[in-house]
Amino acid sequence: MITQKGQSIEDKSMEIIDSEIGTHPYSPDEWTIVKRIIHSTADFDFARDNKVVFHKDAIQSAIDALQKGCNIVVDVNGVIGGFNKDNMKKFGNQVICNISDPIVIEEAKKLNKTRAQTSMRLAAKQMNRGIVAIGNAPTALVEVVQMIKEGLTSPALVIGIPVGFVCAVESKDELRASNVPYITNIGRKGGSPCASAIVNALYKILAARKSS
């Protein structure tokens, strides 16, 4: 629960972002998400060169899934650290991260894959009709896209915003070419705080709709 002082700082930050960015091409709901990413990173590139890209069904699909208590599958524990846990409690959403599971570690060694890849395979059923939030590992995003192609899972939304120099750009390109609702960005930038910010923003949109 945010304090009054904390809320005033957040509100001021959002005002600064609005004033500095000026005009932008995003819808109100999309801007809620992009603005929260900028707030978490202090990086205006997410509205410019490294712009955030939305599948046309992304926000509605995610809102519907969250309301139904869907799972939220993440690639690393760092994404969980940025979540507003009150939201999950309110709607009964379970957060799943298998990156440190001994089974994942052993299987990754055996198959010569990354733990992130293997952890996604382990969560195939749990991410079905749920939200996948990837902020750190491009190989996790590649694996999820491949699993969708194989018909092993069908998430309501894939948030694919991994950071990095190896495969980060390519993994996002593959996501945009897929037939799943997605939120991603152009380029190498990203990170766990971005993935967390997107999920938190989706809850804000959901709360605004329920109160209207």
- Summarised one tens digit per residue, pLDDT across range 79-108 is 999 999 999 999 999 999 999 999 999 999
* Burial of 188: CB neighbours in 10 Å, binned 0-12, 13-18, 19+: middle
Q: 84, 40 in Cβ contact below 8 A?
A: no
Residue 19 reports pLDDT greater than 80: yes
| Domains in the chain, number | 1
Q: Identify the CATH number of the domain in which residue 80 sits.
A: 3.40.50.10230
Higher pLDDT, 204 or 212: 204
- Alpha carbons 163 and 75: distance in angstroms, whole number: 12
Backbone angles phi, psi at 159, to 5 degrees: -95, 105
**Residues 35, 39, 115, 172: which is the catalytic one?**
39
Can 39 be counted among the known catalytic residues? yes
- Spatial CA neighbour of 71 closest among 143, 136, 120: 120
**Token pair recorded at residue 205:** 């949109």
The whole domain housing 172 covers 4-211
Residue 206 reports pLDDT greater than 80: yes
